[in-house]
Structure 1
Amino acid sequence: MTREVKVRLGLFTYDKGLDCLLDLAGEHVSLRPQSAQVLSLLVENLGRTVTKEELISAVWQNLSVTDDSLTQCIADIRRALGDVDRRILKTRPKVGYMLSPTQVNTDQPEITATPIQETTSDEVPALVCIQTANPQDQPDAKTIEQEAISRGADSRDPVTAGTALFSFAAVTAAVRFALWLSTTPNGSNFCIGVDLAQPDHASADDLRVSGLTAIAGEAQVVVSVEVQDQCYAERDFDFEDLGQHRLKTTQEDVRAFRIHTNTGGVRIMPDIAAEDLLPTIAVVPLRARISSPDTDVIGEIVADDLIATISRSADINVISRLSTTAFRTQTTSLDKIGDTLGADFVLSGTILTHDAKIGMMLQLSEISTSKVLWAERVQIEVTDMLNGLEAVEEIIAKIRKAIALNEIERARSKPISTLRNYTLLIGAVGLMHRLAPVDFNMAGEMLRTLIARAPNHPAALSWMARWHVLRVQQGWSDNPQEEAQLALGFSRKALDIDPENALALISEGLVLTNLSHELEEAEDRYDAALDVNPNDANGRLLRGTLFAFQGRGEEAKRDCERALHLAPLIRIGFSFCHWRRRPALPQKSTSVQLNWPKLRSD
């Protein structure tokens, strides 16, 4: 039986069986009838340029229409796909159009991750202009042309007055060709410029790239800031900022860069990388589905909010905005993002504004497996975002949950010896809180393995202390006093390593309260932890519960409400149940009543 085939187009999928475009949620994306027919024809001719004549003849048949009608349909399709940079639906100047998709089968068990769009940064057209230092000397046109074609040049203009112009479909291919040319035996005779190409503005582009070439010296390659943006994450290119220049050809001010080949090729890694127990996420700047100054600014603001919120999480490392901004104007494969930034997960998406609302399509992808772990469409009011976006907190909570569930599943399905450090940590934390004996004991084994691998990291030691507290609370230990001493041993070793580690301080506070019944000492630990990180939801919750046991109702209410605000999706009922098994403490009675949500079975 023939399987029904779908075509991935960026964040969207074209279902050939239904003959329609679907978004990530599987919902139909509306197109005008003629636009839908044009898209259908392009899908049927994947990877092939369909001429304008073919499209007009098939869609409008006997009607007499101009190219404008087709152009409107192409714009409609690109708008629906969020294809701002024309990387999915490509224009072949004076010829036609071509789709650049990836085919997937409906029976595939996993979704293939596509950060922002299903293309790579190489699919941005660029122009290379070559001028001889001495206009009387013509460049070796034949040799240069052969090399350009072998490196992916689409076309070139005739050599005139010591000048040659080549068009490339890939900006990095254009840059590599220019650098190769500058290092040839005759390279000292060449001045070379590179700029992005816009098919609809060919003549202006020719003048602009010629102006950049005029800035270059002998054997030099000068590129525009737009080219630098596209190649920023390429580790084999180095850029020298030449500052602002006025182009003689167009009389516009541009920022120019001289580009060199990076012969080092070594990425400096931090010393703690081998012992780092936390997963690392990179938030790629959100791209506007329909580019405009307002939408671009809002996309930057949302990305900043997401990064700032994730940065407050103690269980996830987040790549700085200064590094991820390199990908704001390009689309890059997951492998390249992971290799360049050292990230384990990527959060990407698109943004679209309509009236007073913002629509975002977000997806979280795992780099090692190219799986989409979570995807969701979010709609918010512009005023809500500008006044403080609570929806961001929920997004981050869902991201953390998706990562945790993924690592828990991996931890349960593979041998412990093969698991990565952060999988061991996240998996152990998740399994120990499921309170099933098999999962709980496995969590202890995973934490012990992790401590053996990274004995000087406070995170694993802190969670091991909590593991002993849970063991007593569940009635699985015959010697609570011994468990208390073991737990304090782990928490104190964690604090010896890092006296201001919030997780370690909170863990010791939990041990002192639950096992040693030293409430004043426990309160000191919680206070110290919240001085270090006032936004630690778990610390707020546990200190609030301690206040409740002490009869300090207003303080308990304040801390617990703050915990709910900081982590609206936290399973607070589960956290409180830790206290219900502890023997009553000898202290005054209290009228405090806390209404906790019912515990979920999962």
Structure 2
Amino acid sequence: MSGENPEKNLNLSETVPLGDFDFSLESKELLDASGQPIHLRRQSSEVLAYLVGRRGETVSKSEFFENVWAKTVVTDDSLSQCIADIRRALKDEGHRIVQTRPKKGYRLTPTPRRKTAGAEPVAPNIDHKRIPRFALAGLIVTVIFSFGAFWTLNSSLPELPLPTKPSIAVLAFDDHSVGSDANYLSDAIAEGVIADLSRFPELFVIARNSSFSFRDTPTKVSMISKALGVRYLLEGSQQKSGERLRVTIQLIDAVEGQSLWSQVYNSDLSDVFSVQDEIVRKTVATVAQKVINFEGQKAIESDEAKLTALLLNLKARQHLFDFTPEGNEKARLANLAAVEADPRQPYGYVGLTFVHINKYRWGWTDQDPIMELNAAREYARNAVEVAPDYYDGHSAMAYLHIQEGKLNESIARYQQALSLNPNDTGAMASLAEALTYSSRAEEAEDLMLRVVRLDPLHQDWIKWNLAWVQWHTKNCDEALQTMNAMSDIPPMAYRVLAIIQVCRGDTQKAQEAVGHLLEFDPEYTIADVRHNYAGKYTNASDLERVLNNLIEAGLPE
């Protein structure tokens, strides 16, 4: 579908022919007929380079894992996806070049080009005296037009500036299936992704007619990016085999020329509509958050004077995820700047709602906590007032209702947010919190497990929330596994780790967790926990269990 192309002059004599392509031994890149590099994901490129180095030999899976992944634990799907990427790039549908050796591995067989690269086209033997002049002129015009169209598509596409929002185009998926229904399901999946990504007002999503216009036209991703005026491209492919479907999807940062995420979905086609819906929802939930978080990280390093209200809010979100007073203050300043940049947008108001709720919940304030709660309420109202259809504004209001102990209103507001954007896994996870306080922990756990299925690359706070819910359902061994899967446990999360260890009967580990919490805040006590949970639990015994576990873990009263 696409290929990235840093301009290079390569020595084509040091190449290995692979069908209509060459592999450069010098640059370790796959080259097209004109000598330009074909885009491959990094791991796929390394697998191909290893195959070329062992060309003609059968390479086992264990050899790939040891030499390409350096003994990192990966699944067979990781290798299968790389092989599929390579075959797609080589147009090797018949597996003539990359051969599967059953129960043994893979073997690469170099094959010469079917057409000599760079050769002058052979002119047909035409008797000009027997062709009318108007027919000859038509033939010349057709040839000129064909070459001109190819040149226009690949070299003279207009270059559009990037919009102020994170921008993405979903390209038409390649369909390697055969039969009369080819392209139908792949188009339905891509169209579904476009429609659901458009539910995120934080994103600028290109319409189908424009993004699908590159179908069957080999065009480099950098050129597609410039022609559509987007930074991110989502491309994919599908192949059906009997009643089985494999869909491969990849998110590319076309400006930097790097793959940000890829996924392979293997499904049974017995219920094709459910399969389509599942793939769309999982892809959208992951891609949207990946792009939003990536833009937030970039905004932290950017010149603030050039940032829009949205990007300032995305920057603030990254600071919020620190779950520290310092990160909360940075988020406050960035969100204030967002409101100043454009008070008609909801983003800064939403961010400030969460900032002041953190100050209220965790005691990160020098003033009366109720004043922080009042401030959060005012900002949440502003967010909903300026943008009644913005899903995250309703999520902010719902989170405020949790702090107020208005659980039924909170649940209803989260449901409203999810009606506006069913793919917002953040709203789902926060809804699970409201359900847990309402003595509906089993329902909350099911919802949290759905969140992690929809967004496998979820952030650590999702794991924190899931572990907390699992403690309520007394799945404490699973809760500990969830906590241990966090990349970095925030200080306040040690409170949850402590009650999980008590639940498991490991008092020593529970005391160690409380020790970490007190290193962060030496004055933290049971009284602070009571304030944090004030008015939230509908069942008083749930709160007593929390407090008793923390007392047993050594948190001072």
For the aligned pair, the TM-score class normalised by the smaller chain equals: 0.5 to 0.7
Does structure 1 residue 307 correspond to structure 2 residue 194?
yes
Write the distance in 2 (CA, Å) between the matches of 1:411 and 1:339: 21
After TM superposition, give the deviation of residue 284 of structure 1 in Å: 0.3
- Bigger radius of gyration: 1
What does the per-residue CA deviation read over 1:493-519, in whole Å, with 9 as the maximum and x for residues that have no partner? Answer: 1111123432112201212322x4444
Q: What does residue 344 of structure 1 align with?
A: 231
Mark the CA change 1:556 to 1:574 in structure 2 (over 3 Å): closer, same or farther: closer
Q: For 1:446-595, what aligned pairs fall within 5 Å after superposition?
A: 446-479=334-367, 480-514=369-403, 516-519=404-407, 521-533=409-421, 536-551=424-439, 567=455, 570=458, 571-575=461-465, 582-585=532-535, 588-589=538-539
Which residue matches 1:98? 117
Which runs of structure 2 are paired with 1:422-441 in the superposition (5 Å)?
422-441=310-329
**3-state secondary structure, aligned to 1:166:** helix
Q: Secondary structure at the match of 1:98?
A: coil
Greater CA drift, 375-384 or 19-28 = 19-28
Q: How does 1:82-161 map to 2 (within 5 A)?
A: 96-98=115-117, 160-161=131-132
Which amino acid counterpart does residue 572 of structure 1 have in structure 2?
A: I
Give distance in 1, aligned partners of 2:457 and 2:23: 35
- What residue identity is the alignment partner of 2:295? E
Inter-CA distance 445–158: structure 2 relative to 1 (3 Å threshold):
farther
In structure 2, how many angstroms separate the alpha carbons of the residues matched to 1:439 and 1:9? Answer: 52
Say yes or no: does 1:329 pair with 2:216: yes
Q: 1:548: how far off?
A: 2.9
Determine if contact 1:286/1:348 at 8 Å carries over to the other structure: yes
Show CA shifts across 1:442-468 (max 9, x none). 333332222222221113321221122
Are residues 1:14 and 2:23 paired? Answer: yes
The aligned amino acid for 1:508 is: M
Are the counterparts in 1 of residues 281 and 423 from structure 2 also a CA contact under 8 Å? no
Alignment CA distance shift 1:586-1:592 (3 Å)? closer
Q: Which residue of structure 2 aligns with residue 365 of structure 1?
A: 252
Deviation per CA, 1:102-159: give whole Å up to 9, x if none.
Answer: xxxxxxxxxxxxxxxxxxxxxxxxxxxxxxxxxxxxxxxxxxxxxxxxxx99968675
Offset at residue 535 of structure 1 (A): 5.3
Tell me if structure 2 keeps the 8 A contact 1:551–1:589.
Answer: yes
Which range moves more in the overlay, 317-326 or 13-22? 13-22
Q: Which amino acid aligns with 1:363?
A: Q
Change (3 A) 1:374 1:19: closer
Q: Within 5 Å, which residues of 2 pair with 1:374-385?
A: 374-383=261-270
Q: Is 1:27 paired with 2:47?
A: yes
Q: Structure 2 counterpart of 1:27, which letter? A: V
Q: Compared with structure 1, are the counterparts of its residues 555 and 398 closer, same or farther at alpha carbon in structure 2 (3 Å cutoff)?
A: closer
Aligned equivalents of 2:536, 2:387: Cα separation in 1: 33
Instruction: Give the C-alpha shift of residue 339 in structure 1.
Output: 4.4
Question: Which segment drifts farther, 434-443 or 570-579?
Answer: 570-579
Letter in 2 for 1:467: V
Q: Distance in 2 between matches of 1:489 and 1:173?
A: 62
Sort the Cα spacing of 1:572 and 1:402 in 2 relative to 1 into closer, same or farther, 3 A: closer
Report the 3-state secondary structure (helix = DSSP H, G, I; strand = E; otherwise coil) of the residue aligned with 2:140. Answer: strand
Q: Is the 8 A contact 2:332 2:351 kept in 1?
A: no
Residues 239 and 247 in structure 2, CA contact (< 8 A), matched pair in contact too: yes
Higher helix content, 1 or 2: 2
Partner of 1:443: 331
Correspondences of 1:193-204 after superposition (within 5 Å): none
* Whole-Å separation in 2 of the counterparts to 1:12 and 1:406: 34
Contact 1:366 1:373 in 2 (8 A): yes
For residues 327 and 537 of structure 2, what CA distance do their matches in structure 1 show? 36
DSSP-derived class of the 1:362 partner: strand
- The runs of 5 or more residues in structure 2 that have no matched partner are 1-9, 31-39, 58-89, 99-110, 469-491, 497-528, 546-557
CA contact (8 A) 2:20 2:112 kept: no
1:79–1:290 CA contact under 8 A, matched in 2 = no
| Secondary structure of 2:249 counterpart | strand
Matched, 1:283 2:233: no
Out of 492-501 and 360-369, give the one that drifted further: 360-369
Kept in 1: contact 2:417–2:427 (CA 8 A): yes
Tell me the equivalent position of 1:215. none
Amino acid in structure 2 at the alignment position of 1:589: N
* CA–CA separation in structure 2 for the residues paired with 1:20 and 1:332: 17
Q: Which residue of 1 aligns with 2:148?
A: 174
Query: Which residue identity is paired with 1:166?
Result: I
Checking the alignment, whether the CA contact within 8 Å between 1:347 and 1:365 is kept in structure 2 is yes
Count of residues paired in the alignment: 409
**How far apart in 2 are the matches of 1:361 and 1:167?**
40
Q: Match of 1:286, as an amino acid?
A: F
Amino acid at match of 2:167: T
User: How far off is 1:169 after superposition?
Assistant: 7.8
Q: CA RMSD in A?
A: 5.3
* Structure 1 gap segments, 5+ residues each: 38-73, 83-88, 101-151, 178-229, 237-264, 596-602
Deviates more, 1:418-427 or 1:466-475: 418-427
Distance of aligned partners of 1:77 and 1:504 in 2 relative to their CA distance in 1, 3 Å threshold: closer
Specify the code of the residue in structure 1 equivalent to 2:205.
V
Does structure 2 retain, via aligned residues, the 8 Å contact 1:283–1:307? yes
TM-score by length of 1: 0.54
Alpha-carbon distance change, 168 to 462 in structure 1, aligned in 2, over 3 angstroms = same
Quote the offset at 1:359 in angstroms.
Answer: 3.9
Tell me the SS of whatever aligns to 1:346: strand
How far off is 1:379 after superposition?
Answer: 4.1
Q: Structure 2 vs 1, CA of residues 332 and 494 (structure 1 numbering), >3 Å: closer, same or farther?
A: same
Cα 1:504–1:167, aligned 2, differ >3 Å: closer, same or farther? same
- What secondary structure is seen at the aligned counterpart in 1 of 2:343? coil
Whether the 8 Å CA contact 1:281–1:343 is kept in 2: the answer is yes
CA distance in 2, matches of 1:291, 1:465: 53
Contact (CA 8 Å) 2:154, 2:223: kept in 1 or not?
A: no
Following the alignment from structure 1 to structure 2, what is the Cα–Cα distance between the partners of residues 281 and 372? Answer: 14
Shift of 1:541: 3.5
Verify the 8 A CA contact 2:313 2:334 in the aligned structure 1. yes
Once residues 11 and 453 of structure 1 are traced to their aligned partners in structure 2, the CA distance between those partners, rounded to angstroms, is: 53
Correspondence list, 1:402-413, <5 A? 402-413=290-301
CA distance in 2, matches of 1:364, 1:464: 31
Matched residue of 2:47: which SS? coil
Q: Indicate conservation of the 8 Å contact 1:349/1:360, yes or no.
A: yes
Q: Deviations over 1:429-454 (max 9, x none)?
A: 13311224554433333322222222
SS at match of 1:347: strand
